[in-house]
Each structure stands twice: as structure tokens, then as C-alpha cells.
Structure 1
């Protein structure tokens, strides 16, 4: 019951923020790939970034996706769920998956006590956040746990810039930068869009110097300058979400951004989605 109440609290809080976020974005409801500019943008209005779908792949609908990434050509996924959870039919897991088939190649259940969240890999070391258990798990590439770190905030999204780990807690507008060896907090950066702080920053991915983030319960992916915390662009994937809801009404919200630095391919998916998309973002 505890997990259900926490999830309900998180969901309804996110609904309020989603409505505010959508209003600030002034979405005109068009269904084409490129989100239109607002009629009277502010001087610092966020740029709308278009996208195109390159390929569509199957995705495991039992995976309540919390973290998604590509590392050395292989896809990894972190999922949420526990023994009392209503959102997943399986426990929270760490997965290696086949991009083309959606099948699980390697899996680790992280235990009934924990609700898994964002993941990242740096220097052949895997890091996985937990939601409210204030624990970060650290694994080798064989999914063998090698250590744990305490976490003072809720755990939501996780990525890295090649040197530091970058996390979100969802309930604030902050990105947290950590030392990967000690998980010591190095700095905190608030995130704002058009002068307003935003929260519900969920799954994260570092792409070419910017942090891309799903905004929980919304169809928006925002592009964040990690040095200033300014949102410099946003991608509206309503087109994909609408398709998913037609294919599988049980699918949940968008969450999952993965970038392959070798092929420059970008992938997006969502919680319990039946499909994974290779996409290309505009400039």
C-alpha cells in the first residue's frame, strides 16, 4: 500500500505541474512533427525543436521504464516496481536488452524493498538510483553489485557528462552533480524555462553538451544547458504518445531517452510502452 500511496502522490503532484508546464509552452495542439512557434514569444522564449521517426522497434510492456541508455553499442534499461506496486508486473530490474527485438538479454532484480529509478554507465561502472529508499547501487558490467552510496534526495533521473554523475529528484527544479567515485555532491543547478523554475524533471540523457530530460506526465523533452540551468529547447512528442495510446491503452507516460555516441542515434520510449523509437531531433 505504501508504494501505491507514494505513486498516487507523485502522479497527482505531477498533473498539476504538467498543466502549468503545458500552459507555459502554449501548445497549439498541432499533430505534425514540428511544434509551432508561439504567436508572441518572450525575448527569451524556448525554441521548439522538431523531430522525425527513423525506425520503430518492439519494447517490453512489462518494463516500467525509469532509465534508458546505450553504452558501447548495447542498450540498458532500469525499471521501477516492487512487490506491492500497481505499476509493474515485475520487480525493479536492471536490464540489458536487444534493441531490434526488445527481448531481455540479461536481468537483475534489485529486491522487493527497492523501487528502481534512473541509470547511467561511466567507465564500465553502472549506477542505479532508487526512488525513496535513498540508496544508489553500483555494479560492474556483469551486473554484480560492488557498492552502495546513500542519497539525500529522492532518486528520479540519472546521466553523466563523462566526468560527473548528474541526477534529478523530480520534486525540485534541481540537477545534482556528483563525484562518481564517492557520490559526494559537487554542485547543484536549478533548471528554469522562460524565467520560471520547473520540476518533475525525470529521465535524463547527456547529448553533445546538453542534458535532455523527460518532464513527468507530459509529452515534452527539454534541452537543458547544464552550465546555466536554462532550458534552451523543447521537443513535443505528442505524436508518438498518441500513437502509443492507440496501440496499447495500458501504456503509461513517456519516459526514456538513450543516445548512442558512436552512431549518433537517439531512442525514446515510455513506461510499459509496446514500442521503442529511433528518432532524429532537429536543430
Structure 2
């Protein structure tokens, strides 16, 4: 009796395992055809959709969606964000429902403009600072620096380079970008998946927060109502400033493709200005759809600072509302440059 029960249980277990392993999601009888060339469309183009019905089902209705938004068989893409998306067709027929999907990438319809700059002033900057992010608040410059066992949060008199206030991060945290909103400083760490919130006046740590779908912390900026976070990819995440939950994202694209390595960011006159890691320029990004509007070439600046063994890349951009000008620096640069942006 015990032997029978044992083999019965074993047989049933193997049967269930076999059924589970062979269970596959039923392939849709339908597929989606579009006019996207190699899967790419440009902003303001009209997307044309056709449903391929190889089994000639009698279709009752079809609902098309692009990232959850209802679209028609002919849809102008001007209202959509750039980047990779999924077109979904929900097909109703013979009291059944099936879903077909296809990917699409929306590119910008114009190339970025090329800007350069004029130097207005140059100020001293701590040559030991591995600058990750800078931002002005009430006339002072706030800086977050990186590297394990070196990461700091600082308040600086930008004209003299004097450090007014400074705290060290714990040795196992690699500091990244920062932004200031409602008298709070928000600071990221790199691969630790944790951000910190401080009182802007005392530097007392108020709380910490975890990342969501973004795996790393790179840069932060804000527009007074939303915090924008970069993670080193083409994604810029939109965070609720109260909960710090990632609510949505934009993807940074040109007319050619995605732009990765989005790092330190600054909100300036309704646009996001972003350093690209290991690049000598800054991208100006439309926050509504992720389009790169222009690129500022800062490549000559690195030659204007003291050349030394630890000298690293351009990184650090801040807008000073008191001077109505932009400031840039780099990792272990001994100068902070006040600049005017010039369109070529």
C-alpha cells in the first residue's frame, strides 16, 4: 500500500511537471505590420498600422495601443515620447481575444544644433574634488563628490573656493549627483541603490530612499515640482519629490538614435542640460519627449586647467540665477568656469 502510494505520488508529480514544462503561451494568430523602416519612425511622421490575419478569422473589433495610449490605424507621432515603444493590437473575434505586439523606435525629426561658449570668469576649485554634481542655492555652490572613501557633500563660496560646510559619506558609499528642492538636498550614490536627503542649512541627514527600476544613481536636477534622475543609460527618470518613487521616464534620443551615459544634469529655462560621461560636451534635452535639441562643445576647457596625473573628465554644470549664467567644471579640475552659451 505504501509502495502504491509512493509511485502514485511520483507519477502524478512527474505528470504535473511535464505539463508545466510543455505549457507554452499560445502564439497569436495575428501580427502587426507598419510603415516603420527597420522599426524606426521619426517624430511628426504618420504611423500606418495593418493587422495581418493569416487564418482569415472574422474579426469583431481591434483596439490599437502605443504604450497604453489608444491610437488609430493612421496616427501622427508628434504627441509621443522618443525611444523604444511597443505597439499592441487587441483583437476580438469568435468570442475570443488575442493580443499581437510589435516594437517601434521613435527618433527626433531634426539633428541637434551645435553650440559653443565664451568664458566670462574662472574661479578656484578644489583640485582634489572628484566632482559628481554641482548646484547653486541662495548664492552658494553645493557640490557632491565621488570615489569610495573620498565622497563628500559640500557648501562652497564659489568666488573664493572656500569650503563653508562639508560632511563625509561613509566609506562604502560612492557619491553621485545632487539637487536642492524645498530646502532639502537630495544626493545619489552610484551602485549602492540608495539616495540621501539632508537639511540644506545644517546638512543633517533627514532620510534615505531606494531606487526603483533604475539600477544606478548618476545625476539629479529638478523643475520645482519633479526630480529628474539619470542612471548612466539613455533613461531619465521622473521622481515624485515627496515619495521619491520613479513615476515615469523619458529616453534621450537624436535623429540618429539613443544617447547613453547621461550623467550630471541641471534644469535651465525649461530644458535639461546634461553632461555625458567621458564626453566633452553637454546635451540640451527637451524634458517632454527626450529629444536632444542641441549639444554644447566644451572640449577646449580641459586644457585651461592645471594638467596633472589625476585630471579627469568634464563633469559638473550649474545655473546661477543671481548672475543668469552657467558654471561648469570637471573631476579634479582646479577651476570653475562661468560661461555664456553661443550658437554657432
Higher strand share: 2
Question: 1:121-270 maps to which residues of 2 (within 5 A)?
Answer: 121-141=180-200, 142-152=202-212, 153-170=215-232, 172-244=233-305, 247-270=307-330
Q: Distance in 2 between matches of 1:250 and 1:118?
A: 20
**CA apart distance, 1:113:** 1.4
Does the aligned pair in 2 maintain the 1:80–1:115 contact within 8 Å?
yes
Asked whether 1:49 is paired with 2:115, we answer: yes
Correspondence for 1:110 among 144, 169, 173: 169
Answer whether contact 1:251 1:274 (CA < 8 A) is retained: no
In the alignment, which residue of structure 2 is the partner of 1:38? Answer: none
* Structure 2 CA distance for aligned equivalents of residues 185 and 71 of structure 1: 25
CA RMSD of aligned residues (A): 1.4
**Is the contact between residue 248 and residue 273 of structure 1 (CA under 8 Å) also seen in structure 2?**
no
Residues 169-222 of structure 1: CA deviation (Å, up to 9, x unaligned): 00x200000011111112110001223101101100000000001111110111
Is the 1:248–1:274 Cα contact (8 Å) retained in structure 2? no
Structure 1 gap ranges (5+): 1-41, 84-90
Deviations 1:88-112 (A, max 9, x none): xxx2100001111212110011111
Could you say which structure has the greater relative contact order, defined with CA pairs below 8 angstroms and 6 or more residues apart?
A: 1
- The farther-off stretch of 72-81 and 186-195 is 186-195
Alignment CA distance shift 1:60-1:227 (3 Å): same
Map of 1:96 onto structure 2: 155
Question: Cα 1:43–1:151, aligned 2, differ >3 Å: closer, same or farther?
Answer: closer
Match of 1:23 in 2: none
SS of the equivalent of 2:322 reads: coil
Pairwise CA distance, 1:50: 2.0
Larger radius of gyration: 2
Q: How many residues align?
A: 233
1:119 to 157, 160, 178: 178
Q: Deviations over 1:142-166 (max 9, x none)?
A: 1000001101320001110110110
CA distance in 1 between partners of 2:342 and 2:304 (Å): 21
**Separation (CA, whole Å) in 2 of partners of 1:249 and 1:205:** 28
CA distance in 1, matches of 2:205, 2:313: 30
Q: Secondary structure at the match of 2:300?
A: helix
- Are the aligned partners of 1:59 and 1:273 in contact in 2 as well (CA < 8 Å)? yes
Residue aligned with 1:239, SS? helix
**SS at 1:62 equivalent:** coil
- Residue aligning to 1:274: 334
The runs of 5 or more residues in structure 2 that have no matched partner are 1-107
| Mapping for residues 59-74 of structure 1, pairs under 5 Å | 59-74=125-140
